[in-house]
Amino acid sequence: MSLSVKHLLGIKELQPADIQTIFRTADNFKQVLQRPIKKVPTLRDTTIANIFFENSTRTRISFELAEKRLSADVVNFSASGSSVSKGETLIDTVNNILAMKVDMVVMRHSASGAPWFLSQHVDASIINAGDGVNEHPTQALLDSFSMKEELIKKGYKGDLKGKRVAIIGDIMHSRVALSNIFCLKKLGAEVMVSGPPTLIPKHIHDLGVKVEYNVKKALMWCDIANVLRIQLERQNKPLFSTLREYALFYGINKQMLDGLQKDIIIMHPGPINRGVEISSDVADSEQSIILDQVENGVAIRMAVIYLLSGKRDLEA
């Protein structure tokens, strides 16, 4: 079992077989995570640096836990409080970390393309933990893995081929949306994006997705709705009137779901703006698998790190 890539920079570069390999490996690691001792010794000779130039809760903790469950040594770096504020370049920062004998780098950066740039200048494997508005590959992998798992729980085959997934909300500023589109298309799902016209990129249908500006119609069409956060921090001019208006026309609430006459799966990558893109009674409902997504993130990241490490002694 190995991947066709040296780095995980984006889903765009992965083959469908790579995604299936990651899922099979994550299945093994999920079993490890259910044992009393949730750890394997596989990466005890490996050091991994998590370098985060942008805020994170889920991704950062999930990567750190995944690395520790694989017995790797872990160093954490955040831009705030570092020599980045003194003008050090990205390559200098990373090369200094690598000089301390680090084998792998997990990086989040606000600049789209930063992990690609880095992969051309350093020898270590790079894992993209989210770059600007471009890609968030491990989020898309854990999202599709969680969809498959939930479909199996509901008595389906767990195959996403032909399943209808609506990605709803701020598509324009979302790296989760782009990585999900690439991942779902490679797995054979039908994908629709929905939200206000000002938050949907003009040429998105070139990626082979349907576009629906009416969120109720998108919900009626889909089997699974992945609801995205309004990314106000990336909007330098107003793209809708008020959050209240957004919630009224595009927010997912219980009344909308009750009117569908079918039971769709609800997802959100987090962090949630409760009462804006999703109401609390939906986020916390039986239909929501938001916390399953978070749980699966650890197994998916263990799988990605293990497969990129080149180790072949999986004791799962």
* Residues at the contact surface with ligand CP, assessed by CB under 6 A: 56-60, 130, 136, 139, 269-271
Q: Which is nearer to ligand CP, 67 or 190 (CB)?
A: 67
**What's the rounded Cα separation, in Å, for the pair 205 and 195?**
14
Least Å from the CB of residue 11 to ligand CP: 14
Q: Which is nearer to ligand CP, 58 or 234 (CB)?
A: 58
Instruction: Give the span between the Cα atoms of 190 and 204, in whole angstroms.
Output: 14
Q: Which two tokens stand for residue 158?
A: 């767990």
Nearest partner of 250 among 213, 284, 285, 280, judged by Cα: 213
* Closest distance to ligand CP from the beta carbon of 121 (Å): 25
- Smaller CB distance to ligand CP: residue 50 or 279? 50
Comparing CB distances to ligand CP, the nearer of 42 and 175 is 175
Q: Which two tokens stand for residue 176?
A: 């989760």
Closest to ligand CP by CB, 42 or 288:
288
Residue nearest to ligand CP (CB): 59
Closest distance between ligand CP and the C-beta of residue 248, in Å?
25
Residue type, 249: F
Terminus-to-terminus CA distance in the chain, angstroms? 14
Shortest separation between residue 69's beta carbon and ligand CP, angstroms: 18
For ligand CP, the closer CB: 18 or 143: 143
Please state the closest distance from residue 58 (CB atom) to ligand CP, in A.
4
Q: Are 43 and 305 a contacting pair, CB within 8 Å? A: yes
Q: Least separation, in Å, of the C-beta of 172 and ligand CP?
A: 17
CB of 59 to ligand CP, least distance (A): 3
Whose Cβ is closer to ligand CP: residue 40's or residue 302's?
A: 302
CB of 79 to ligand CP, least distance (A): 15
Do residues 220 and 194 make contact, with C-beta atoms less than 8 angstroms apart? no
Q: Which is nearer to ligand CP, 42 or 139 (CB)?
A: 139
